[in-house]
Amino acid sequence: MRLSILFVPLFFFTAPAFAESVPLSGCLELLQARCQKCHYLSRVCQKVGEKSERRWAATLKRMVKRRGATLSGEEQEFLRDCLVTPDPAIKQECGK
Ligand code: HEC
């Protein structure tokens, strides 16, 4: 009984730190977390499935280098691929 009382608060305190250190798994989650600071996701949605791989790579690079988006090289590659070939969550979000 005592043990479970100790465990509950511990879980709540450690959960946010844990969430931050784990890479975002889904494409949509990453877009929501990193791209909505400056514009609606609709701006991204407009181009989903429209741009080539090279053009998405260039756009993502511009968002990072010129506009100030936060994405590692790995995250840029991950997003590039899922913007060229959107997964079901992105399609649903974008109405495509
Ligand atoms: C720090 C602000 C900022 C963040 C964060 C940001 N953008 Fe942008 N984005 C802009 C601005 C400013 C423009 C309009 C000027 C331009 O096109 O460079 C824009 C325009 C765009 C466009 C339309 C123009 C085009 O080339 O198709 C797309 C698509 C886009 N952003 C995608 C993204 C994606 C994907 C992310 C997340 C990885 C992102 N942006 C994050 C500032 C930002």
List the domain boundaries for the chain. Answer: 26-94
pLDDT in the model for residue 41: 96
Residue 16's pLDDT band, with cuts at 50, 70 and 90, is very low
* Burial class for 61, CB neighbours closer than 10 Å (0-12, 13-18, 19+): middle
Q: Which of 67, 79, 81, 84 to mutate to test the pocket of ligand 1 (most atoms within 8 A of CB)?
A: 67
Ligand 1 midpoint to CA 18 (Å) = 28
The whole-angstrom separation of Cα 90 and Cα 60 is 17
Integer CA distances (angstroms), 81 to 27, 39, 54, 59, 78, in order: 9, 21, 10, 13, 5
pTM: 0.82
Q: Indicate whether 18 pLDDT > 60.
A: no
Q: Using a pLDDT cut of 70, give the percent of the chain over it.
A: 74
Atom of ligand 1 nearest to the CA of 71: 38
Answer CATH for 26-94 from 1.10.600.10, 1.10.3720.10, 3.40.50.300, 1.10.760.10: 1.10.760.10
Residue range 22-64, pLDDT digits in tens:
455 799 999 999 999 999 999 999 999 899 999 999 999 999 9
